[in-house]
Amino acid sequence: MENKMENLALNDKKNTGPKLGLIPLAAKKPRNTEKGTKVLVETNIRKLAISPNQPIFKYAVQVNFVYGKADGTQVVIEMSKSLRKGTEHDNDKARCQKVYNEAIKRYDTLRTGGPYFYDRQASLYTLNKLKTENIAFDVVEGISKRPNFKKAQFVLKKVDESFQSTSNDINKTVNPCPANADKTLLEAMNIIVSGPAFENKNVITIGSCVHYLIDTTGVEVPLKEYQEGCLYSGVGASKAVKTLEGTDKKSASLFMTTEMKSTLFHPDWIPLLDVLRSFRGFTTNLKSNIPAAQRIEKACVGLDVVLDYGPHKGLQEDGIVMKIRKFSTSAVETTFELEDKTKTTVFNYFKKRKLGKINIPVELLLLCPSQTVTNDQMINNEQADMIKLSAAKPNIRKTTTDCIAKKVGLASNSIYGFIKVEEPVKVEGMVLNKPKIAFAGNKLAVLNDPRAKFPTDFNLAGKYFIAKELSNWAIVFIQGEEIKGLADQLVNEMKNNGMKASNPVETFIVRGDLESVFKNGKAANRQLLFFVVKSRYNYHQQIKALEQKYDLLTQEVRAETAEKVFRQPQTRLNIVNKTNMKLGGLNYAIGSESFNKPGRLIVGFETSQRSGGNPDYPISVGFAANMLDHHQKFAGGYVYVKRDKDIFGSIVKDTLITILKTTYKYRGKPTDILLYFNGVSEGQFALLNEAFSKHVKDACMFLDQNYRPNFTIIASSKTHNERLYKSDKGFIVNLEPGTIIDHTIVSPVYNEWYHASAAARQGTTKTTKFTLIFTTQAAEPMWNLQQLTNDLCYDHQIVFHPVGLPVPLFIAGRYSQRGAMVLAANQGPVYTNDVMDLEETNKLLGYGSKKLFETRFNA
């Protein structure tokens, strides 16, 4: 515990180089007012009308905890600037609140003349200047239960910079140079507008911006409970205060978004053993390497627990937090190599050192509170169920969101007498023109078909635009489970769509031996191994890992789906659409004013944030680009990177060099480059603008010192809280695909737009937010970037409708998931001398050196 305390005392003082954010982002361009059809859009964004000249004072708070060490010395930890995450960060904030509560008891200046708004960390905001502006004291009693706790120190003083802000300082909160924006007013307003929610006894707050209702009476959202894992759902609302363009041409305005949240939680303060007992197949002598244990492990990895035993009994928030990393063998069974190259067990290692047997029974470990269930921890139908809970129709979602916002206290007519929360704003949007979809012989698909369920769905209008040949392939069944006639159905469908196809060889998986199938396929120089297996075998991950290992293209169809090809033409088509794309074909071409430049290289970077199911594994970053022989064909791969705030930066240059080399091989040097980065927060805009733009220049100069193509960088995100709806003759409905909004509810200093690209098959459309970060083409109009982005959403090629992201990002996301899958199948990264070796991991588990890299292998 002492080592952990010492580590906490160290601040992160890494040399981060020159300060970022002093260079402006791309200059603001005129909005799109002509290209498209106008439409009225309703929102969940409310203007905050603030009394003029209202002063807001900011004070710095420092909370230190002092602990004793075994050698008699002491260590001081500043809790108010905690660098920790998750449960530990929440516990540090709770510690700060305890000490602040003590300050309120001791000093009249904090009890009178309020209100006061403490962020439970390092900032206190007030509407009146404190009578006593410097406070310092120590407190011992009633703060911590830890045996080695000595005292807590509290210090309050004026902030050197931005001590006073006023409600008139809205324009100062934004700046084309991100580092020059003064966020004091925004920080204060985010805390202040949550004040009623913090005071509401029917509300619990996760972090600082998501407020969940305890009693949900009157809210029409069903709640879910799951026996396995003792999981339960909660409903609440998130909020964010932002400076947006507004309608006042002279000044920006403050707005607040409120968004409904349905979230799944782990139980609070329950013994870990009780949680384990809730799982099907659990026994106390369960071995970690059997399927039942692996299933439970998936549900538990990443959970935070505390020890509730001996001197740690009853500490709860003051206890030592541990994270479940994996299930392993027992100490008696687990072996490792000593320095003299001999092997020993963990049990014997500690026994020889007379440290005794160390056992922490799981029934003495408690789950930490307020932990949300991650996607990786969902082992049943939880993810689908939560999607359904959140997938309310637009009119219901908007009404429910407004109801919850009022119940938690985020939509008061007047907050503390100087903030009026107005009704959600309505804005004008534009529905962009749809591209032309051309099959072979320039036969055009019909869009806006009144018979179609969704206006952007289209049907096959002719043979594939570029149809490929499949002459040497194998169809793979489980021995004894072949589907007679399936191959004939598939071959006929291929031929009908213009492909040249020979009948496949039939081969079989015998007693689960997948690798022999690949060895034989490689020896026979197969173009494709086409697997047809029932879903219960769960071979998908292993098949894709072996595809990477043997550099042999695969396609997998569940046997349950394959049975449908005899009676469902659409199922046959979907399967063969994928086959043609994997082989390097192009099912249709997009006719577009914006997407008709063969010399423009378009690149997408995306990460699913998955890491092969283990938080100690590296992150898989996917990328995709139109680097092949036709400018509408996209291919890519993935790269493993260490977990970091900047997950893209370390690979941008080298990845772009590889992409440029491939593009040059097939189409020559690009005349300009467009790069999308998905999942980027506003706090990283300066990084993209300055560091990433330099990586792009360096990659180009690596190929040729005189190579200076134009290039543009765009950030995208779906993690925002804004929800937008079409107002159709008084009814709230989903936005039509192609709708963009680029004014009023966007940044007053950056080029931003919201884009609804795909039809919502269920629930409410979630738009993507795009921000133009950097460009060397100042004259390129916003409408062209918007139209190009929209047209790229039609280039999926397998499904005949637009998807939720432009295809370079959509495909990059799938590559990212594939990378995580391959990593998990190979049981993690490569280690060299007990250190994770990312270079060797990428070499061994990536596609960079494979022939398949120049195909859309993940179609």
- Residue whose pair of structure tokens reads 């806006």 in the numeric block: 448
Radius of gyration of the chain (CA): 29
User: Any idea what the CATH number is for the domain that residue 641 is in?
Assistant: 3.30.420.10
Say if CB 54 and CB 86 are below 8 A apart: no
pTM: 0.88
Residue range of the domain that includes 526: 467-583
Number of other CB atoms surrounding residue 681 within 10 Å: 12
State the Cα–Cα distance between residues 8 and 12, nearest whole angstrom: 10
Report, as an integer, the average pLDDT of 481-502.
96
Q: What is the DSSP string of 425-454?
A: EEEEEEEPPPPEEEEGGGEEPP-S-TTSSS
pLDDT-above-70 percentage for the chain: 95
Cα-flanking dihedrals φ and ψ of residue 132, to 5°? -115, 115
Question: Rounded to the nearest 10 degrees, how much is the dihedral formed by the CA atoms of 557, 558, 563, 568?
Answer: -60
427-251-754-187 Cα dihedral, nearest 10 degrees: -120
Measured distance CA(682)–CA(607) in Å, rounded:
17
More confident residue, 205 or 807: 807
> At residue 754, does pLDDT exceed 70?
yes
Q: Are residues 571 and 602 in the same domain?
A: no
For the cut 70, the answer to whether the pLDDT of residue 7 exceeds it is no
Residues 162, 119 share a domain: yes
Residue 433 maps to a domain: no
Residue pair 526/552 in contact by the 8 Å Cβ criterion: yes
What gap in Å lies between CA 400 and CA 261, rounded to an integer? 10
625-647: per-residue pLDDT in tens? 999 999 999 999 999 999 888 89
The predicted pLDDT at position 576 comes to 97
Secondary structure class of 69 (helix, strand, coil): coil
Phi, psi of 11 (to 5 degrees): -85, 155
Task: Report whether pLDDT(162) > 70.
Answer: no
Q: How many Cβ atoms from other residues are within 10 Å of residue 402's Cβ?
A: 18
In this structure, are residues 107 and 136 in contact, taking their beta carbons and an 8 Å threshold?
no
Angle (CA) 744 748 750, round 5°: 115
Do 697 and 550 share a structural domain? no
Of 260, 218, 205, 253, nearest in space to 236 by CA: 260
| 414 within a domain of the structure (yes/no) | no
Residues 648 and 712 in one domain: yes
Mean pLDDT of 319-331: 82
pLDDT at 325: 84
89 part of a folded domain: yes
Q: ∠ CA(195), CA(198), CA(203), 5° rounding?
A: 135
Same domain, 565 and 713: no
- Rounded mean pLDDT of the chain? 90
Comparing C-alpha atoms, which of 713, 832, 726, 721 is closest to residue 773? 713
pLDDT in tens, 816-859: 999 999 999 998 999 998 899 999 999 999 999 999 999 999 98
Do 707 and 681 fall into the same domain? Answer: yes
Instruction: Give 353-411 as a DSSP string.
Output: TT-------GGGEEEPSSPBPPGGG--SSHHHHHHHHH---HHHHHHHHHHHHHHHTSS
Residue 287 banded pLDDT, cuts 50, 70, 90? confident
Predicted pLDDT of residue 11? 39
Name the 3-class secondary structure at 106: helix
Whether 665 and 519 share a structural domain? no
| Burial degree of 565 (CB within 10 A; 0-12, 13-18, 19+) | buried
Co-location of 354 and 492 in the same domain: no
Is the pLDDT at 484 greater than 60? The verdict is yes
For the segment 101-124, the average pLDDT, to the nearest whole number, is 90
Q: How far is 73 from 592, CA to CA, in rounded Å?
A: 71
3-state secondary structure 757-802: CCCCCCCCCCCEEEEEEEECCCCCCHHHHHHHHHHHCCCCCCCCCC
Query: What distance in Å separates the CA atoms of residue 397 and residue 635, rounded to the nearest whole number?
Result: 37
How far apart are the C-alpha atoms of 566 and 559, rounded to whole Å?
12
Mean pLDDT of the 532-546 span? 93
**176 domain-assigned:** no
Strand 473-478 vs strand 505-509: parallel, antiparallel, or unpaired?
parallel
Same domain membership, residue 819 and residue 679: yes
Q: What is the domain count for the chain?
A: 4
Task: Answer with the one of 538, 565, 583 that is the final residue of a domain.
Answer: 583
pLDDT-derived band at 610, boundaries 50, 70, 90 = low
User: Which residues, listed in sequence order, are joined to residue 152 by a DSSP beta bridge?
Assistant: 65, 139
Question: Peptide bond before 115: cis, by omega within 30 degrees of 0?
Answer: yes
281: domain CATH number is 2.170.260.10
Position 432 in a domain: no
More confident site: 326 or 542: 542
Last residue of a domain, one of 342, 368, 394: 368
In DSSP terms, which residues pair with 532 in a beta bridge? 477, 557
SS3 (DSSP) at 514 = helix
Same domain, 530 and 614: no
Per-residue pLDDT at 17: 63
Q: Do 735 and 669 lie in a common domain?
A: yes
> For residues 38 and 415, which has the higher predicted lDDT (pLDDT)?
38
Q: Which two tokens stand for residue 644?
A: 């970091």
Residue 573 has a pLDDT of 96
How many degrees, rounded to 5, is the angle at CA 16 between CA 12 and CA 19? 120
Last residue of a domain, one of 551, 568, 583: 583
Give the per-residue pLDDT at 40.
96
In angstroms, rounded to a whole number, what is the distance separating the alpha carbons of residues 45 and 245? 12
- Kindly compute the dihedral angle of the four CA atoms of residues 96, 98, 102, 107, in this order, to the nearest 10 degrees: 50
Using the predicted structure, report yes or no on whether residue 410 has a pLDDT greater than 90.
Answer: no
Q: Which amino acid is at 827?
A: Q
- pLDDT at residue 401 is higher than 70: yes
Q: Give pLDDT, residue 3.
A: 40
Parallel, antiparallel or unpaired: strands 123-126 and 116-118 = antiparallel
- C-alpha torsion 851→856→857→858, nearest 10: 150
Which pLDDT tens digit goes with each residue over 345-365?
Answer: 866 765 665 444 444 667 789
Residue 559 domain-assigned (yes or no): yes
Integer Cα distance of 209 and 195 in angstroms:
11
Residues 6+ apart with CB under 8 A from 740: 32, 36, 429, 430, 432, 753, 754, 755, 756, 786, 790
94: DSSP letter: H
Residues in the chain: 859
What DSSP state is assigned to residue 586? B
405 backbone dihedrals φ, ψ, rounded to 5°? -60, -40
Of the candidate ranges 373-382, 512-521, 794-803, the one whose mean pLDDT is the lowest: 373-382
With bands split at pLDDT 50, 70 and 90, how would you rate the model's confidence at 266? very high
Closest CA to 427 of 740, 663, 217: 740
Map tokens 């398949």 to a residue: 852
Please say whether the beta carbons of 586 and 561 come within 8 A: no
The closest alpha carbon to 541, from 812, 819, 737, belongs to 819
Whether residues 494 and 608 share a domain: the answer is no
Q: Is residue 691, in this structure, part of any structural domain at all?
A: yes
- Lowest model confidence (mean pLDDT) among 273-287, 318-332, 612-626, 724-738: 318-332
Q: Which of 284-298, 525-539, 550-564, 636-650 has the lowest mean pLDDT?
A: 284-298
In which band, very low, low, confident or very high, does the pLDDT at 387 lie, cut at 50, 70 and 90?
confident
The verdict on residue 220 lying in a domain is no
| Contacts with 487 (C-beta within 8 Å, 6 or more apart), sequence order | 475, 503, 504, 506
Q: What pLDDT, on a 0 to 100 scale, did the predictor assign at position 47?
A: 94
The answer, yes or no, to whether residue 19 has pLDDT greater than 60, is yes
CB of 131 closer than 8 Å to CB of 114:
no
3-state secondary structure of 673: strand
